[in-house]
Amino acid sequence: IKGSVIKELIKSKKSAEFISYASEKDYKVGTKQFTLSINANTKFKNTLLDSTQYAISDLIDNIQKVDPSKPTTEHENPTTPSTDKKIKFKQNRKRVTAGNGCLLTVVTEDGKSIDQSKVTWKLSDNISKDTTITKTKSGVWLYVDEGEPSSSVTITAQVKNVKGISKEQISRTLIVKGADTGDDGDDNNGGGSDDGSGSGSGGGIDDGTDSSGGDDNSYTAEELKAAISDKEDDIAQAKEDLHDAQISYKEAKAEVDKATVKAKLAGTVTTAYSKGTLPTDGSAAIVVKAADGMYVKTSISEMELDSVKVGGTIKCVSSDTGDEYTAEVKEISDFPTADSSNGGDVSNPNSSYYPIVAFIKDADGLSPGGSVEVSYSSKSMGTANENAVYLQKAYIRTEDKKSYVYLRDKKTKRLKKQYITVGKTMNGQYIEIVSGVTEDDNIAFPYGKNLREGVKTKISEDDSEMIY
């Protein structure tokens, strides 16, 4: 039925009833498929275009059944509890082009996201079987068949079993641009009667056009205005589609990134299990062997995390040969290990230990599975304060919340009590001395029965009992 016919009926305050039948047999026995009643008070959610052919079922779906002043195309259920948030379509799309598609997403009335897997979608029945919907993580993708015969498509959405979200159904009717709506071949555009009188099997209503002449390509001012509005809607929808596509791309890329395992160590994959044969004993599913050099694995206590960093170096001494090697820290685990031992040495069971991996570039003399003793300094890690001195905790004493050491006075050569300013603790053993002593000072062990200020001192040549 042409839009101009419906509009003229409403304008002239006439009443009419349009009836469609699914088949000629149904028509003969009086089995109706759709019935459309038009009167002076009939209003539509979407503006009807004069030259567009509309199916009866599409017009029924398009009739405004709620307050016309309310700016929405969703059919709302007034019985929904006020405590539950109502839903709406995120997109403001009104049209879709045949042969193309669009994304539709359901959100709460205040625009907050909803788990789209909880949304049930349904398409209107009076459409091509090739017009389909496909659920995605972002909502549903509506594809409209290139040969879609209906001039509009209605899609319905409902959220179920989500606490705080209304179970009401909402629907959106989209005008199909480029739909194949010829006058011949669809009983849905079939007959009816003017002013409720008369009957026939397809007579319909005179649309007011002169079949003997006239220019079918002419447009009224209202149709030109509607055409301009269509193009503006197309531009807005294209921008919206681009935005939705960018979001979908980012979500898909994030899923791919999660499923991609990237080696932090350079080398060759020597072992790789397939999906169906993954080990269940906790062993590695993928093993990477370095092309050159070797990797050493150890762990550090939680107290040392601030003093060790990726890029720093550690000293390694071979347990077999005593040869020294330099290794660069490549990785520090974000999670502690359940094993608090390092190569047989039992560490503090009350502290957490974090695995680290370092790379020895020149590893001649080392063999896979061997062991080394590892050590490092704040300078090798690049975490040291170049102007600071670091002392073992044992050399530092505290009095009235003030820290001090005993050192040799350079002038008198006697023992002197020197107050100092301390900084952070390194490796759980060393304390940073910000001020009070220098690297040139001689520090005394601060315990013993003869220890007091003023006693004579000498520099010991025996360093066997010195603490470093």
pLDDT of 219 reads 61
pLDDT of 391 reads 85
pLDDT of 277 reads 86
pLDDT of 187 reads 41
Lookup result for tokens 């001090």: 404
Give 382-386 contacts, CB < 8 A, sequence gap 24+: 382/309, 382/311, 382/312, 383/306, 383/307, 383/308, 383/309, 383/312, 383/426, 384/426, 385/423, 385/432, 385/434
In this structure, what token pair is assigned to residue 112?
Answer: 């907050």
pLDDT of 385 reads 62
In this structure, what token pair is assigned to residue 185?
Answer: 């071949």
Return averaged pLDDT per consecutive 10 residues of the chain, 468 residues in all: 87 86 79 85 84 82 65 46 80 85 89 90 85 88 88 89 88 80 43 38 37 49 74 79 84 83 76 83 79 86 83 91 92 79 56 89 85 81 68 88 91 91 76 85 84 86 59
Angle at 201 between CA 197 and CA 202, to 5 degrees: 90
**Which residues have C-beta within 8 Å of that of residue 339, sequence separation ≥ 6?**
299, 353
The pTM assigned to this predicted structure is 0.32
Distance CA 115, CA 137 (A): 8
Q: Which fold has domain 386-468?
A: 2.40.420
Range(s) for CATH 2.40.420.20 in the chain?
386-468
CATH number of 3-197+222-242: 2.60.40.1080
Class of domain 292-381: mainly beta
* Size (the chain), residues: 468
pLDDT of 427 reads 62
Range(s) for CATH 2.60.40.1080 in the chain?
3-197+222-242
Which of these, 321, 339, 333, 429, lies nearest to 376 by C-alpha position?
A: 429
Range(s) for CATH 2.40.30.170 in the chain?
292-381
